[in-house]
Chains A and B, each alone.
Chain A
Amino acid sequence: MTDIDQFRTETRAWLEANCPPEMREPMRSDKDTVWGGRDQSAMTPAQKQWMDAMGAKGWTVPDWPKEYGGGGLSPAETKALREEMAAIRARNPLSSFGISMLGPALLKYGTEEQKKEHLPKIARGEIRWCQGYSEPNAGSDLASLATSAEDMGDHFLVNGQKVWTSYADQADWIFCLVRTDKTNKHNGISFVLFDMATPGVSTKPILLISGYSPFCETFFDNVKVPKGNLVGTLNKGWDVAKYLLGHEREMISNMGLGGGGKNPLIDGAIATVGLDHDGRLADPLLRAKIAEFEVRSKAFAAQSERFIDELKAGRAHPAQPSMMKYYGTELNKSRYELVMATGGSDALEWESERSDGGHSARSWLRTKANSIEGGTSEVQLNIIAKRILELPGA
């Protein structure tokens, strides 16, 4: 038996013993995933048990170094762990911007002190992070951001406004882009971290078309941020920001995968549309659309596996996350158009118990943000054109 086979066998047994049955049910909504944080009261006992068990092994972040709370696993072991988790349909123990965005940026740009301070808490789900990038006048053109950080000797004084800050009202800390030099667009931005409980920070939720309000306007009024919370070099925060965006895009692209096993679209379609005498879906055009979607989604699953393998081996083009993000999010949007088309009038119910509080409709509406958040599809296509295909600038 090779080492990896042995690792797989042991992992399978450990997961079997430690993953509660409730954590092997498909996720239905935002509430079914654990975000961690100081306030752990929202978690069910099974969620907490699962997060703690995985956190103790460092398997919430299996490939991070052990010294920072990670599992210290090799790429092959990480892949085996993910496969074994998928085999029992285990949920991710923790969803967190700390894991998918800030962590990788700190690993690359953080000081030893910053890593020791923040990474283990991310791994164990003790601190929940939010992302302060966008501003009312800095969306796709993020580098035009204006929130200022004035050098006061031992601290920065931060003033300004952020917008679309996901879960800002529930987050403990923020990673934030601030302007430290007004005369230089890209080279006047710095990357800072601070506690959302700092005096002068306030948030105001924004209601979305899905009826939920997972994001906020965030205001900073003379917020004191210690100098030690600067990540990377002063005025060079754009590098950190871009590196982090690559990871954000990678994470968002996973939405295109839609989970393992049989596509629930198919059972849904059979239930509402029915089969004809030949055992085919009674709406041939819908059937054709679902079948083509299946081709693309299976092919994208292969691409996702290839991308991760290439990334781990250091062979992926640095702009490839843009391609993954573009394709994965457009695919996910088409999946949810089909969810609505196959669901018919059942899928339109908004509050009923039968519809699980309008689960289909709300999810469908939520997916429309996929091609906006983390950089729009148009911005990703610009990046592919310029950086991968090396087409000339305008």
Chain B
Amino acid sequence: MPLYLNEDQTMLRDSARDFIADTAPVSHMRKLRDDKDSTGFSRDLWKQFAEMGFTGILIDEAQGGLGLGHVEAGVVLEEIGRNLSPSPFLQTAVAAVEALKGTPHADRWFPGIIAGETVAALAIDEGAKFRASVAMKAERSGNGFKLTGTKQFVHHGHVADMLIVAARTSGSADDQDGVTLFAVPKDAAGMIATAERLTDASLAARITFEGVEVDADAVIGEVDAGRNPLDRLLRAGRAGAAAEMLGVGSGAMDMTVSYLKERKQFGSLIGSFQALQHRAGHLYSEMEVARAAVLKAQQLLDAGDERADAAVSVAKAMTGLATMLSVQEGIQMHGGIGMTDEYDIGFYMKRQRVLAELFGDANYHADRLAQAAGY
């Protein structure tokens, strides 16, 4: 398989590009922020995503979805990133769908997701930095489980229709085994979500579980073997976050390069100054390399290749490095206007920072590769 988008994927990209730029450009996000919108995204827009078929992109055709892969999901995510569109797409249509795929939960949750009615949230982080450890407890109780503990950085957690929760059914926090994944409906009693607005204006919840009772059939996959669906979720989520970040970095770079072509100082366009040309050329190179890493990871994921996991870590780390450069150079090369709230470039820096932390930052993934290589 050549490492570029095929014809169908290019067509999908073109339609996603037009659709998202029309319906959810940066001004859409700015308005939600200025209105202090308490949902954090537009339910109407989520419906429109459904009408485009995007919400079912990773769901099999037999179950009403488009039956496409991670390359295609990434194509949509890149446009979401480029336009800084607030959307539950990554958490719901990519990460949650991958976790639920092939389990009885698919029948229950997929129709709502496909229809653009259901939003899922991921309650997996327990500290301020993503770590693989899970301390939250799930004790057997009656014919089900009782969940106790706290989670944070749960995007859309305060409005989600269902949450995917990682909890410990045995062992201690850092053990691989003993983790179980649960699908928890939003009306479960004892769940207290406090939404906090993040630097990029998105909303993420801290959630306290005070003995939340769930049935045995809330378990995703097997008890004590939750790492399997969790790993699936994380692989998809990381590849998706990398694609979205790529969009953020590309969008910032495009803005910056355009600015270099219009801003005049000392009687010249600033883009004619070699000091800036070289930095722009370097940035371009980093972004190209990041783009290749993302596509490679997506293709390996779609092929079910065993090298996919490492490739996903490379993609998440590499986009973290490259897009950070992109947003930093973006602000610097815009000069004073780059520091204003009125101008969009600052939003790119904020969004990049959030996506960089999501599912493990560049250091985390570089460390993961190092451990796998035995050093």
Contact = CB atoms under 8 A, between A and B. Distances in A.
A304 B292 CA distance: 8
Interface string A351-394: 00000000000000000000000000010111111101111111
Contacts of A266: 373-375
Interface centre among B276, B284, B292, B365 (most CB of A within 10 A): B292
A334 B295 CA distance: 25
A300 interface: yes
Given A280-B375, A302-B296, A391 B289 contact: no
A386 to B, nearest CB: 8
B374 A279 contact: yes
A287 B367 CA distance: 9
B38 to A, nearest CB: 39
A270 B375 contact: yes
Interface centre among A269, A299, A384, A394 (most CB of B within 10 A): A299
A306 interface: yes
B175 interface: no
B278 A295 contact: no
B288 interface: yes
Dominant SS at the B interface? Answer: helix
A299 B292 contact: yes
A295 B361 CA distance: 13
A251 interface: no
A302 B281 CA distance: 19
Interface residues on A, range: 35 or more
A288 to B, nearest CB: 7
Contact of A295 (B2, B296, B366): B366
A327 B285 CA distance: 7
A393 B269 CA distance: 9
A182 interface: no
Interface string B46-77: 00000000000000000000000000000000
Nearest to B262: A392
A392 B264 CA distance: 11
A298 B300 CA distance: 14
A310 B292 CA distance: 11
Interface string B238-276: 000000000000000000010011000000110111101
A394 B272 contact: yes
Given A288-B366, A326-B281, A389 B375 contact: no
A323 interface: yes
Interface of A: 262-263, 266, 269-270, 275, 279-281, 287-288, 290-292, 294-296, 298-300, 302-307, 309-310, 312-313, 315, 323, 326-327, 378, 380-386, 388-394
23 contacts: A262-B373, A280-B375, A287-B370, A287-B375, A288-B366, A294-B366, A295-B366, A302-B311, A303-B289, A303-B293, A305-B292, A306-B292, A310-B2, A323-B285, A327-B285, A327-B286, A378-B278, A382-B274, A389-B284, A391-B260, A391-B271, A392-B261, A392-B272
3 smallest CB-CB distances across A and B, nearest first, come from: A385-B277, A303-B292, A384-B281
